Amino acid sequence: MAALPRRIIKETQRLMQEPVPGISAVPDDTNARYFHVIVTGPEDSPFEGGLFKLELFLPEDYPMSAPKVRFITKIYHPNIDRLGRICLDILKDKWSPALQIRTVLLSIQALLSAPNPDDPLANDVAELWKVNESEAIRNAKEWTRRYAMDN
């Protein structure tokens, strides 16, 4: 395997030294491009109190290409599908090599605070979020309790 680029080393060091509040990102022991991520459900959101596991992988051409990120913990959210894939512009066409792992994780945390049912990935969830928001929020809380709380 090729040597780890200086950019990845620097980012990793900073993530460890000054972690983003509510987010932990730890590189895997055997693969420095693979991160175990835990995001705390933001306050005043239906995900409050939950701990959400994610995986983040830096592809070979990072930072020219965006990191690959996926939720491992099940989550009821209009922009996250059953497989945990995330609909977020900076992970796709709005990616810029100047963005960092840190910015990506902050954006994901923000997405939990402000779901956007008009740009859906999980269609049934987004539909309910639009027609009956209170029921959707009840579902999201229920899923958070069931999948993101006791471990």
Partner 1 sequence: MTTEEYDTEMDYSDSDCGDPGYEDYYNVHPWDGEGDNDIDNDQSRRDPEYAVYDCLRIEEVERLLNEDVESLSNSLHITPSLAKVLLHAHNWALQDIIAKYRTNASSLFINSKIKPLPPLDSLSGLKSQRSGLCSVCVAIQSAEKFSTLTCGHSFCKDCWCMHFEVQISQGISTGISCMAQDCNVLAPEDFVLSLLTKPNMRERYQQFAFCDYVKSHPQLRFCPGPNCQMIMRSKEQRAKRVMCSSCKTCDLIRNCNNFSFRCGIDYHAPTDCNTMKKWLTKCADDSETANYISAHTKDCPKCHICIEKNGGCNHMQCYNCKYDFCWMCLGDWKAHGSEYYVCSRYKENPNIAHESVLAQAREALKKYLHYYERWENHSKSLKLEEQTLEAIKMQINKKVMNYSGTWIDWQHLFAAASLLTRCRYTLQYTYPYAYYMEPGPRKELFEYQQAQLEAEIEDLSWKIEHAETTNRGDLENQMDIAEKRRVTLLKDFLEV
Which residues are designated catalytic?
Answer: 87
Q: How far is the CB of 5 from partner 1 (least distance, A)?
A: 7
Of residues 92 and 145, the one with the C-beta less far from partner 1: 92
- Residue count, binding to partner 1 (CB under 8 A): 13
Rounded to an integer, what distance in angstroms lies between the CA atom of residue 140 and that of residue 24?
A: 22
Rounded to an integer, what distance in angstroms lies between the CA atom of residue 6 and that of residue 8?
A: 6
The amino acid at 64: M
Q: Does 7 bind partner 1 (CB under 8 A)?
A: yes
Of residues 57 and 147, the one with the C-beta less far from partner 1: 57
Q: Does 5 bind partner 1 (CB under 8 A)?
A: yes
- Site residues (CB under 8 A) for partner 1, limited to 79-98: 96-98
User: Which residues does residue 85 pair with via DSSP β-bridges, in sequence order?
Assistant: 70
- The single residue among 16, 28, 43, 64 that binds partner 1, judged by CB under 8 A, is 64
- Identify the burial level of 6 via C-beta atoms within 10 angstroms of its C-beta, where 0-12 means exposed, 13-18 middle and 19 or more buried: exposed
Q: Give the 3-state secondary structure of 2-23.
A: CCCCHHHHHHHHHHHHCCCCCE
- Give residues in contact with partner 1 (CB under 8 A): 5-7, 10, 61, 63-65, 96-99, 103
